[in-house]
Amino acid sequence: MDSPCFTLTSLESLSTNELIGLANNCGLDIPPGLERIFIIEELLYMNRGSGGGEKKEEDMLFREFKELAVLPKHYNISFIDVLIRDPLWAFVFWEIKAHDRDLYENMAEFEGYCLHVIPLRKDSLQSSASSSFTVSVGRGDSAWYLGFPPDNGRYYKIELCVQGWENFTVLAVSRPFKLPRLIEPKYEVPKPETADDIQAIYQNPLAQLSGADQIPLIRSVDRQQRTREA
């Protein structure tokens, strides 16, 4: 039996039900509710492997389709997530939905956005607020690399916040995450961390390469609260 031959134009002319029927006849497993654009993509991808003199044309059509099926730049949701790069750095990315932007940026007390970095206790993953710090970000920002000092521990969460005159408003919170371990001094028996231990970590070549001793921090407890002027 000859392999079926599809073109982008012919597939787009079919209804969604016809596309599903065609995919089933070709042995493709189509999940319920799958959008027609992805059904067409699967059919075109399958057709690329059919060979023959039309493969070059189908490759061109497939590339054309892929250019049309681009991901949206925004999903209109407020979220924040973290990708760990190494023991001292992570890539943080976020989005603020349009409704939230309109609501907060039009308030008189709006002072911008920030990332509130909160160390967590290893045993309970409860917040250790006294060691938290904030990083101000611009209105148009959607991603930052963040540095983490070794003496703050390895467990964190990050809040995406609106800065006001007197407080923060949390828009989204990342999942708790754990940074990988640096090569620390080895001991014959476990011992609690001391100032000497922390200094040894800062002298670790990987820590120096990551710039651990050059990360300026403003602790949340050091942030002066401003009151509304009369």
For residue 224, the model assigns a pLDDT of 44
Residue reference for tokens 């995450």? 177
Residue reference for tokens 């209105």? 139
Query: How is domain 79-217 classified at the CATH fold level?
Result: Immunoglobulin-like (2.60.40)
Report yes or no: 99 and 109 within 8 Å, Cβ to Cβ: no
Crossing angle of helices 16-25 and 36-48, rounded to 10° = 30
Q: Which residue has the higher pLDDT, 69 or 144?
A: 144
Lowest-confidence segment of 36-50, 86-100, 201-215 by average pLDDT: 201-215
Report yes or no: 134 and 115 within 8 Å, Cβ to Cβ: yes
The predicted model gives 15-26 an average pLDDT of 84
For 203-223, write each residue's pLDDT tens digit. Answer: 666 666 666 666 655 555 444
Take residue 109 and report the two structure tokens written for it.
Answer: 């007390």
For residue 112, the model assigns a pLDDT of 95
230 burial (CB, 10 Å; 0-12 / 13-18 / 19+) is exposed
Take residue 111 and report the two structure tokens written for it.
Answer: 């002072």
Give the other-Cβ count within 10 Å of 171's Cβ: 20
All residues at 6 or more sequence positions from 66 whose CB lies less than 8 Å from its CB, including other chains: 41
Q: With cut-offs at 50, 70 and 90, classify the pLDDT of residue 172.
A: very high
Closest CA to 13 of 46, 40, 49, 42: 40
User: Domain-by-domain residue ranges, the chain?
Assistant: 8-68, 79-217
DSSP 8-state assignment for residue 154: S
Report yes or no: 156 and 118 within 8 Å, Cβ to Cβ: yes
For residue 106, the model assigns a pLDDT of 93
For residue 228, the model assigns a pLDDT of 42
For residue 217, the model assigns a pLDDT of 54
